Amino acid sequence: MPAPRLLISSGEPSGELYAAELLRHLKERAPDTAAFGLGGDHLAAQGAELIAHVRELAVVGLVEVLKHLRRFRQIFAELLARVDRERPDLAVLVDYPDFNLRLARELKKRGVPVVYYISPQVWAWRPGRMKQIRRDVNHMLVIFPFEDAHYQAAGVPVTFVGHPLVELLRRDPDRAAFCANHGLDPARALIGLLPGSRRQEVAHNLPPMADGVGRLLRSGRDAQFALALAPALDAGPVEAAFRDLPVRIVRGGAHALLSTCDAAVVASGTATVEAALLDAPTVVVYRLSPLSYRLGRPFVKVSRFAMPNLVAGRDVLPELIQDGYTGEAVAAEVARLLDDPAAVARMRDGLREVRERLGGPGASRRAAEAVARLLPGAALL
């Protein structure tokens, strides 16, 4: 049987990590599997040939996407040209819906079967995309327990595989070691700051975050602050935002920080799921450019933004979004977590419920098994 050949398209850091784990497990079943497409360092480490890197793909906000539209179109054309030259047996599209749903339509025209991993959030906004998904996607792999019912109702073949982070994250509560490594005092309250993994969202999230830190310090609170900077981001804007504030910048140390901090301020996104899995008392924040928010908000159909809250179906973590995300609000919510043990205990009860609903370890293996069943010669894998 010829070696399976996959197109993999993942345009954001979290998605490309999940794609890499899927490919790793798939290669355990079919070691000669070849892959090309869009991704990052994790996917490349599994032998995938990258046409473009997530560094230039991970853009957030409607206005910001428009600024990069020419490059996106170029990448899209290059990807389809490669598909036309070397027809893959299957395409695995991971998250990144504005790009990947358009790609799914073109792959459908070319007769390339499509598995979509990490569902577009049709249950949250733009539900009209379900019609396109039903037309262009052969199988949907979902990671949140409430998603499969939406696809079943729409007649889309779907499998709930669980969240891959359940097995990828390991809590490391060695506070003394973390503090020693970063010049922090384990006896003092430690506040973790996670402003996001993409340059544009960090730029919008930093000012109220820095204002909140300043307010906490001016109130006389004896606390220390550490900011987890995504590995691919430039430290310059962060250093400028906290120029006069004692904030320790920790590159690539988000999971260790979340495992050991007393409270965290976390940008909405995958990091909120990480905070839930690592049992970190968390305040969720997010801000877009005013124009992007005004354009996008009418299409949002949910009242909550943080994924742990959506999984739980209630407000487990406080959310400070757009105009509600101010330095004053940040300082107040962090102070509550530091001063109210009962509130923290209730929050952690909710986070435990979220973890139970995200499925047990093995999500990436289950996703790989689902992909393998759709490959030519699947019975031989």
- One DSSP character per residue, 73-98 reads HHHHHHHHHHHHHS--SEEEEES-HH
Note down the domain range covering 209. 175-357
Q: pLDDT value at position 298? A: 55
Q: Are residues 182 and 124 in the same domain?
A: no
Q: Are residues 52 and 146 in the same domain?
A: yes
Quickly state the pLDDT bin for 381 (edges 50, 70, 90).
very low
Place of tokens 């906000």: 61
Strand partners, 91: 7, 114
Q: pLDDT value at position 199? A: 84
Tally of domains within the chain: 2
Q: Are residues 25 and 134 in the same domain?
A: yes
137 and 158 Cβ atoms separated by less than 8 Å: no
**pLDDT above 70 as % of the chain:** 92
Residue 47 pLDDT exceeds 50? yes
Q: What average pLDDT does this structure show over 318-336?
A: 97
Q: Is 183 left (phi over 0), alpha (psi -120 to 50) or beta?
A: left
Residue 68 pLDDT exceeds 70? no
Domain-located, residue 237: yes
The predicted-structure confidence for 210-257, as pLDDT tens digits, reads as follows 999 999 999 999 999 999 998 878 899 999 999 999 999 999 889 999
Residue 66 pLDDT exceeds 70? no
Q: pLDDT value at position 293? A: 63
Residue 94 pLDDT exceeds 90? yes
Q: Are residues 154 and 217 in the same domain?
A: no
Residue 315 pLDDT exceeds 80? yes
Q: What average pLDDT does this structure show over 128-132?
A: 92
Average pLDDT value over all residues in the chain: 91
Q: How far apart, in whole angstroms, are the C-alpha atoms of residue 244 and residue 263?
A: 22
User: Long-range contacts of range 148-155, CB-CB < 8 Å, 24 or more positions apart?
Assistant: 150/122, 150/123, 151/119, 154/130
Q: Among 117-131, 256-270, 290-304, which range has the highest average pLDDT?
A: 256-270
Q: Are residues 82 and 129 in the same domain?
A: yes
Residues 6 or more apart from 245 whose CB is under 8 A from it? 210, 213, 214, 217, 225
Which of 347 and 197 is assigned the larger pLDDT?
347
Distance of CA 267 to the CA centre of its chain: 10
Q: Are residues 11 and 64 in the same domain?
A: yes
Q: Are residues 17 and 137 in the same domain?
A: yes
Q: pLDDT value at position 380? A: 44
189 and 261 Cβ atoms separated by less than 8 Å: no
Q: pLDDT value at position 122? A: 86
Q: pLDDT value at position 333? A: 98
Domain-located, residue 169: no
Q: Residue 307 sits in a domain of what CATH number?
A: 3.40.50.2000
Domain-located, residue 170: no
Q: At what angle do helices 270-277 and 341-357 cross, to 10 degrees?
A: 110
Q: pLDDT value at position 379? A: 45
Quickly state the pLDDT bin for 300 (edges 50, 70, 90).
low
Q: Is 162 left (phi over 0), alpha (psi -120 to 50) or beta?
A: left
Domain-located, residue 105: yes
Strand partners, 248: 226
Angle at alpha carbon of residue 275, lines to 332 and 345, rounded to 5°: 60
Q: How far apart, in whole angstroms, are the C-alpha atoms of residue 306 and residue 318?
A: 9
Query: Would you state the structure tokens that stand for residue 206, as one six-digit string?
Result: 């930093």
Q: pLDDT value at position 72? A: 84
Quickly state the pLDDT bin for 85 (edges 50, 70, 90).
very high
* CA distance to 87, 161, 170, 182, 302, per residue, from 127 (Å): 31, 22, 35, 45, 11
Domain-located, residue 99: yes
Q: Are residues 126 and 159 in the same domain?
A: yes
Q: pLDDT value at position 143? A: 96
Q: Are residues 207 and 87 in the same domain?
A: no
Q: pLDDT value at position 139? A: 97
Place of tokens 């998904």: 133
Residues 6 or more apart from 253 whose CB is under 8 A from it? 178, 182, 226, 228
Q: Are residues 142 and 182 in the same domain?
A: no
Query: Would you state the structure tokens that stand for residue 111, as one six-digit string?
Result: 């007769």
Q: Is 211 left (phi over 0), alpha (psi -120 to 50) or beta?
A: alpha
Q: Are residues 78 and 182 in the same domain?
A: no
Q: Are residues 134 and 258 in the same domain?
A: no
Provide the b/e sequence for 220-259 (b: ≥16 CB within 10 Å): eeebbbbbbbbebbeeeebeebbeeeebbbbeebbbbbbb
| SS3 state of residue 99 | helix
Q: How far apart, in whole angstroms, are the C-alpha atoms of residue 134 and residue 307?
A: 24
Domain-located, residue 339: yes
**pLDDT above 90 as % of the chain:** 75
Residue 135 pLDDT exceeds 80? yes
Q: How far apart, in whole angstroms, are the C-alpha atoms of residue 283 and residue 248?
A: 19
Complete edge-to-edge strand list for the sheet that includes strand 263-267: 247-251, 223-229, 189-194, 263-267, 282-286, 319-321
